[in-house]
Amino acid sequence: MPGRHHYELTVEWTGNRGQGTVSYRAYDRDHDIRADGLPTIAGSADRHFHGDRSRWNPEQLLLAATSECHMLSYLHHAAVNDVVVVAYTDHATGVMTEDGRGGGRFTEITLHPTVTVADASMVAAAERLHADANRDCFIAASLNLPVGHDVTTVVA
Given a cut of 90, whether residue 63 has pLDDT beyond it is yes
Which of 19, 11, 24 shows the shortest CA–CA distance to 51? 24
Q: Is the dihedral of CA 76, 82, 87, 88 positive or negative?
A: negative
Length of the chain: 156
Written as one letter, the residue type at 120 is: A
Give the single-character DSSP code of 39.
Answer: P
Given a cut of 80, whether residue 89 has pLDDT beyond it is yes
Which residue ranges make up each domain of the chain? 10-49, 58-155
Q: How far apart are CA 15 and CA 138, in angstroms?
A: 32
C-alpha distances in Å from residue 59, one per residue of 47, 86, 104, 115: 11, 29, 11, 25
Given a cut of 80, whether residue 62 has pLDDT beyond it is yes
**Top CATH class, 58-155:** alpha beta
| Res 129: pLDDT | 97
| Res 1: pLDDT | 59
| Res 120: pLDDT | 97
Taking the CB of residue 52, how many other CB atoms lie within 10 A of it?
Answer: 17
Given a cut of 90, whether residue 126 has pLDDT beyond it is yes
Given a cut of 80, whether residue 2 has pLDDT beyond it is no
C-alpha angle 85-90-94 in degrees, rounded to nearest 5: 150
